[in-house]
Amino acid sequence: MRKPAAALLALLLALPLGCGGGAAEGEAAAPRPPGHAAHGGSLVIDRARLVAWAADADNHAIHRLDLLTAEITTTAIDGAPEQIALLDGDRLAVTVRDRSRVEVFASDAAGALEEIGSASVPADPFGIAVTAAHRILVTSGFGHAVTAIDDESLAVQWSVDVGREPRGVVVAADGARAFVTHVVGDSITVLDLGLGLDLDLDGAAPTPRRSRVLGGLYRNRVDTALGAGTIHPQAALAYAAVISDSGARLFVPHVIEQNGSSTTRSIPGAYGGVPVDEETSFASVAVVKTKDERALGDVSGAGAATGVLDKAAFIATDPQVDFAVAPAAAPSRQARAAAILGDRLLVASQGTNELYALDARALDPAMHVERAYAVGEGPKGVDVEPASRIAVVWNQLSHDFAIVALDSGAVERVAAAGDPLPPEIAAGRRLFLSELDRRISRDGRSCSGCHPDGRDDGVVWKLGAGPRQTPTLVGRLERGPYGWLGKHPQLEGNMAETIGRLGGTGLPDADLRRLAAFLRKGLVRPDRRESLDPEDPVATRGRALFTSESVGCSGCHHLDTEASDRSLHAVGSRGVNDTTDGFRTPPLLFVGSTAPYFHDGRYATLEQLLTDNLDRMGQTTQLAPDDLKALAAFLRTL
């Protein structure tokens, strides 16, 4: 096995085992002290033993990298692991995304794993963290839930609905709260776990609350002070979060979208009410004070009646901003993981194949890039070893580790596995994730920037023909025609038109075929066996209504063809700016988790759509409230 580069090995060998706080190899692990919280990720470092663990979803494996010898131990598991968290007693908790399970493994001295227990959770488990009271917290993307599991018995203690597409979860230093990120929307979810030690008196599930701290809050004010006139009202793609060493600040990398305002005119052939030669999306990092959950840079309550600061005020609050030009942002619109090392915020940028070091002292660290490290293809996980100032990155597409000496910039890559995907699908995935490819978009956006995991960002885009919501792709692309207006019999034609709207120069036919192959065969459908019961009496009643002649939903939404007849229908949905009455019947697979609804996103929930239907799509006005509830319940099983 190849050894680490000499400079990296010297840094690691200079460290005593256990320098990261914990038992040395072969010693009994000390109980976690009250108030300790373990983070999770696609890669985590056991600082006591100087090993890194990575979740390899493609190969259904967990890899252990010895940072001293560069030796890798691989354990195959049943399913696609997403994130790992370290438990006491040489145990690992792992979210298995395609099995709706959390599995716990015991590790021996050589790094081999043995499964010792599991727990079922709502569909699509993703993020994981461990609280001070030894609870495993798990987010479920498609299941829109956070679940608490006892890390000894693996009994589920509670599960709460937190809204669409939760991803990362971190626990405050005092254990009193958990913060949950989402890839949809401008808010994080806060869960109050109890007093200090995460011990509530009655064992009741916490009540989730939303904190609207994402979006272009600070960027908008900078651009206003510069006279740039842009506005970034929407946010998406908050995959991860990290808390500062002091516990005082929460960092949430995400993307902000320039999508115009209510008075911004739409421009034909362009997204967001702006010309294609303007930037439409920017990387951003929300910095949130954990004490009062208020974002830094939020001056709305600080004596500024309009919430707009002038240049002098900005210089006082952030003297690093150069007001001669508009500050650029890190080109990391897909920040899949983050770690903190003192005043450095490290962000794994999946679409640019880099690890960014950002200034964590700034109001928006994404506008203060200190260094970029080329680490490999598709970085998805990152963690740090603070004593040696080394970061370790897991690269999803090249299936290798990158060991990064943060001060010198040296990067050593260690291969862990091959790519199990067929070459055409693997090439299509690279195209799908790639940022800064001007063939796809003029401003460097990727396909996955609007379609995370092949789903949707929840944004209703301002377009010249009228507002259009981002459609979900997974499971809906087997048959044409494609697009809201059904203009394209082939998927490749629809993609070429979208690339044109993004200002891209265009992909050759071979690349369009590769991209289409990935979208059809490479996207992973969420497994819902543990979270949705199609035989539930309410859902069963809803199915009977859906397929009945008296209601008639299945007349257009054929259940044997992704719940769509692929035809155009005028259903009274034409908006003031729309140029047509007829829209293609949308497929309904996974419809319960694709809000908002209608082509223009006018309905926030299925219930709102059904209540306002007025017999435009099936005969529903005669239905009683309980029947409408049953119909919505059935739709959520599709």
pLDDT digits (tens, 9 = 90+) for 186-242: 899 999 997 544 444 446 799 999 998 888 766 666 666 656 555 666 889 999 999
CATH code that applies to domain 537-635: 1.10.760.10
Going by pLDDT thresholds of 50, 70 and 90, the confidence category of residue 263 is: low
Which one, of 631, 43, 66, 20, lies nearest residue 336 by Cα?
43
Question: What pLDDT sits at residue 285?
Answer: 93
What is the distance between the alpha carbons of residues 606 and 411, in angstroms, rounded to a whole number? Answer: 49
pLDDT in tens, 544-602: 998 998 988 888 898 888 888 888 888 888 877 777 888 888 889 898 888 998 888 88
Pure H helices in 471-548: 491-501, 509-521, 537-547
User: Average pLDDT of the chain?
Assistant: 84
pLDDT confidence tier of residue 272, bands split at 50, 70 and 90: low
Q: What is the mean pLDDT of residues 412-420?
A: 97
**Where do the DSSP E strands lie in 217-352?**
234-236, 242-243, 249-257, 281-289, 294-295, 335-341, 344-349
What is the assigned CATH class of domain 1-206?
Answer: mainly beta
Q: Count Cβ atoms below 10 Å from residue 305 Cβ, excluding itself.
A: 6
pLDDT tens, position by position, 139-173: 999 999 999 999 999 999 999 999 999 999 999 98
Say if residue 183's pLDDT is above 50: yes
Look at residue 427 in the predicted model and tell me its pLDDT.
Answer: 97
Fold of 424-521: Cytochrome Bc1 Complex; Chain D, domain 2 (1.10.760)
Mean pLDDT, residues 67-95: 95
Task: Tell whether the model's pLDDT for residue 309 goes beyond 90.
Answer: no
Any residues with CB less than 8 A from the CB of 117 and at least 6 apart, and which?
A: 103, 104, 154
On the question of a common fold for 1-206 and 537-635, the answer reads no
User: Considering only 16-25, 96-105, 146-155, 516-525, which range has the smallest mean pLDDT?
Assistant: 16-25
Residue range 302-328: mean pLDDT, rounded: 49
pLDDT in tens, 396-412: 999 999 999 999 999 99
User: pLDDT class for 67, splitting at 50, 70, 90?
Assistant: very high
pLDDT of res. 562: 81
Peptide bond between residue 596 and the one before it cis (omega within 30 degrees of 0): yes
Place of tokens 């230093």: 173
Which carries the bigger pLDDT value, residue 197 or residue 496?
A: 496
Res. 89 pLDDT band, cuts 50 70 90: confident
**In which band, very low, low, confident or very high, does the pLDDT at 430 lie, cut at 50, 70 and 90?**
very high
The structural domains of the chain, with segments of one domain joined by +, span 1-206, 213-374, 424-521, 537-635
What pLDDT does residue 235 have?
Answer: 87
- pLDDT tens for residues 131-141? 988 899 999 99
pLDDT at 403: 97
pLDDT on residue 513: 96
* Percent of the chain residues topping a pLDDT of 90: 51
**pLDDT for 2:** 53
Segment among 282-286, 328-332, 402-406 with least mean pLDDT: 328-332
CA–CA separation, 81 and 308 (whole Å): 45
What percent of the chain is modeled with pLDDT above 70? 81
β-bridge mates for residue 381, sequence order: 394
Instruction: Write down the pTM of the prediction.
Output: 0.89
> Among the listed ranges 88-97, 228-237, 277-286, 304-313, which one has the minimum average pLDDT value?
304-313
Task: Let me know if 574 is exposed, middle or buried by CB neighbors in 10 A (0-12, 13-18, 19+).
Answer: middle
- Element (DSSP H or E) covering residue 54: strand 51-56
Q: In this model, does residue 468 exceed pLDDT 50?
A: yes
